[in-house]
A and B are shown apart, each in its own frame.
Chain A
């Protein structure tokens, strides 16, 4: 059974960098059938796609966040990561990592989420 688990600091100071890692178990991140991505949800608000990555390194970003975001993959650890720079209170959210199937182009497996609060 595929599982995704987010990890990282729960509190980040304004203007600093938010860093999260998603560990994939029960499946290989190097499969050609999937992309891997990050989606966030501010408290009480809707979902927002942040970025996606393919195991070979191809990256795709939400245009509204592109200047501050980097997504990367470490196939040796079966992990992928997110960096969001120059954070503000507006970046406070539950951050989910998820799998996107290339065949059906949708997010079919999600992690449980990691709450990140931006505050001094």
Chain B
């Protein structure tokens, strides 16, 4: 069970859109539509932003969207705002009630 692969960092200017990728294998991301995305601000616990690949929990802005193609899931944030600056983590169900996380991506809003 290896960690999912995410870019270490991405950046964008306010108002722009950015996409963060999350690459796994046919045993996790590719097998299940059960990828979730978490936002983590410094010193805080992770916050669920996307579940089941593309669904948003109540209260999460519709600027956040998720998708998947084959073994790669993606998180897109449109209309970037300063408060979006944070670390983002993907997580996939990997079968037999196990989970695997990505290494995290630091988003910088320029």
Interface size on B, residues (CB 8 A): 25
Is the beta-carbon distance between A104 and B1 smaller than 8 angstroms? Answer: no
CB distance from B15 to the nearest CB of A (A): 29
* Residue in A35, A60, A104, A113 whose beta carbon sits within 8 Å of that of B51 in the complex: A104
A22 to B3, CA, bound (A): 25
With A60-B98, A62-B98, A112-B45 as contacts: A107 and B91 at CB distance below 8 Å: yes
Q: Are A35 and B97 in contact (CB under 8 A)?
A: yes
The verdict on B12 contacting chain A, using a C-beta distance below 8 Å, is no
B106 to chain A, nearest CB (A): 11
Residues of B near A105 (CB, < 8 A) are 34, 51-52, 93
* A49/B104 in contact, CB under 8 A: no
Residues of B close to A110: CB separation below 8 A: 45-47
* A60-B96 in contact (CB<8A): yes
Q: How far is the CB of B32 from chain A (nearest CB, A)?
A: 8
- Residue pair A111, B3 in contact (C-beta under 8 Å): no
Given A60-B96, A64-B1, A106 and B103 contact (CB-CB distance below 8 Å): no
- Inside 8 A of A46's CB, which chain B residues have their CB? 3, 89, 101-104
CA gap between A61 and B96 in the complex, in Å? 10
- Interface residues in B30-82 by Cβ distance below 8 A to A read 34, 36, 38, 45-48, 51-52, 55, 57
Q: Using Cβ atoms and an 8 Å threshold, which residues of chain B touch A104?
A: 51-52, 55
Tell me if A63 counts as interface (CB < 8 A to partner B): yes
**How far is B55's CA from A61's CA once the two chains are assembled, in angstroms?**
27
Whether B97 lies near A52 (C-beta < 8 A) is yes
Contact of B97 among A48, A60, A106, A108 (CB under 8 A): A60
- 8 residue pairs, one from A and one from B, having the closest CB atoms: A60-B97, A106-B36, A110-B45, A49-B99, A106-B51, A47-B101, A46-B104, A46-B103
- Residue positions of A touching B, CB distance < 8 A: 35, 39, 45-49, 52, 58, 60-64, 96, 104-108, 110-113
12 further A-B pairs in the complex, CB-CB below 8 A; given A105-B51, A110-B47: A46-B3, A46-B89, A47-B38, A47-B91, A60-B97, A62-B1, A96-B46, A104-B51, A104-B52, A105-B93, A106-B36, A113-B45
